[in-house]
Structure 1
Amino acid sequence: MTVTFLLGGARSGKSRRAQVLAEQASPSRVFIATAEPLDDEMARRIARHQADRAEGWRTVEAPLDLAPALGEAKPDEAIVIDCLTLWLSNLMHHGRDVEDETARLCAALPAATKPVFLVSNELGLGLVPESPIGRAFRDAQGRLNQAVASACDVVEFVAAGLPLRLKG
């Protein structure tokens, strides 16, 4: 099966692109969500994402353990993982080993027996963050994106709702 990685900036259309591709791939889909509703604003964002999904979607909450969540998909379900940036933030916040977790995720991707669509932010196009933690996060995101892109069959960069194929 094809594993597709969708990168872009905030509000670039990458999540919508992943949703459309998954809906084209299968009438049955699972949305593996990494966001946690830790405040009202995030709860509203999550609700908006849920409302945007049509019938045929099931949600699995996986703020930390993505590799095992891939195995929870039913045989006929296309998989959307949204998003790796929040997943990275969760890993760092909980003191998890980012390199080990990235390796676990990347090792699970080639074994996928159904279409997988991963969403992540491309943070390296902006200004250098002012704080050390900001720079560490930006650098970790870049390394994560490179590792995942290497493990995927197709990589697209999405800007203004338009996909640009980088790989595959």
Structure 2
Amino acid sequence: MTSPISSRHRSLIFGGARSGKSAHAERLALAAAQSGPHEIVYLATANRAASRDDAEMQERIAHHQQRRRALGGHWSTVEEPLALGQALRSLCRPESVVLVDCLTVWLANLLFAEGVDYPEMGPITPPLAFTQQRVDFLLALQEVQGTVILVSNEVGMGIVPQGAVSRWFVDEAGRLNQAVAALCERVQWVAAGLPLTFKDNPC
């Protein structure tokens, strides 16, 4: 049984594709909200309108929505593909439960937001907004009140990508996961639907 999270708590839930990480994070959010009871804010980093021509992404979004409805609880959805730190400051209160899904999509949004054409080889220079938004998000994560549950992908355990920007992205995703994990009281890895706790500190 999932234990409730206290009113000021940060959790990072990470794993591979289709590992069950989002479903586990949703159960954690529901448990935290039921200790209130409070509304759960689902802070989506995928932009549904921008991806309306992506059938696979639309299917994933619909699947997540259906699963949350089946869980029960009071859910509201906010989309923010770029300014994640600003969104956290706006949404988080001492009694709030905010589920961010997911950090990896957000990182990709920042990387390609300005339509930069990255080289196949050589150094990668991300847009200035990439660094600014990343710094602001990590600051916000330290500042805000309430329960924040963050979902992220582990993308560094497979075959090393060939393209320079793909390799750079894998590195940056790993660095982001490390930075977020350092700020979170709870860090869990999910594989085959089963969570493994790496860190679980009291508030």
TM-score, normalisation: structure 2 = 0.78
Query: Which residue of structure 1 aligns with residue 101 of structure 2?
Result: 82
C-alpha separation between the residues in 2 aligned to 1:29 and 1:67?
18
Query: Which residue of structure 2 aligns with residue 45 of structure 1?
Result: 60
Q: Percent identity?
A: 45
- CA 1:63–1:128: 2 relative to 1, 3 Å: same
Query: In the comparison of the two structures, how many residue pairs are matched?
Result: 168
Asked if structure 1 preserves the Cα contact closer than 8 Å seen for 2:14 and 2:153, the reply is yes
The correspondence for 2:91, drawn from 62, 67, 73, is 73
Q: Deviations over 1:68-114 (max 9, x none)?
A: 11123264331100000100000000144433322211111122321
**Unaligned runs of at least 5 residues, structure 2:** 1-7, 115-126
Query: Which residue of structure 1 aligns with residue 185 of structure 2?
Result: 153
Query: Which residue of structure 2 aligns with residue 24 of structure 1?
Result: 31
CA RMSD of aligned residues (A): 1.4
SS at match of 2:41: strand
The correspondence for 1:36, drawn from 44, 47, 62, is 47
C-alpha separation between the residues in 1 aligned to 2:80 and 2:92?
16
- CA 1:74–1:108: 2 relative to 1, 3 Å: closer
SS at match of 1:19: helix
Q: Read off the aligned partner of 2:98 and give its amino acid letter.
A: I
Asked if structure 2 preserves the Cα contact closer than 8 Å seen for 1:62 and 1:69, the reply is yes
**Unaligned runs of at least 5 residues, structure 1:** none
Question: Residues 1-168 of structure 1: matches in 2 within 5 Å?
Answer: 1-26=8-33, 27=37, 28-37=39-48, 38=51, 39-54=54-69, 55-73=73-91, 75=93, 76-95=95-114, 96=127, 97-168=129-200
C-alpha separation between the residues in 2 aligned to 1:139 and 1:30?
29
Asked if structure 2 preserves the Cα contact closer than 8 Å seen for 1:36 and 1:42, the reply is no
C-alpha separation between the residues in 2 aligned to 1:3 and 1:74?
12
Q: Deviations over 1:12-61 (max 9, x none)?
A: 11101110000000141000001123112211211111111134000000
SS at match of 1:10: coil
- Compute the displacement of 1:154 (Å): 1.1
SS at match of 1:71: helix
SS at match of 1:45: helix
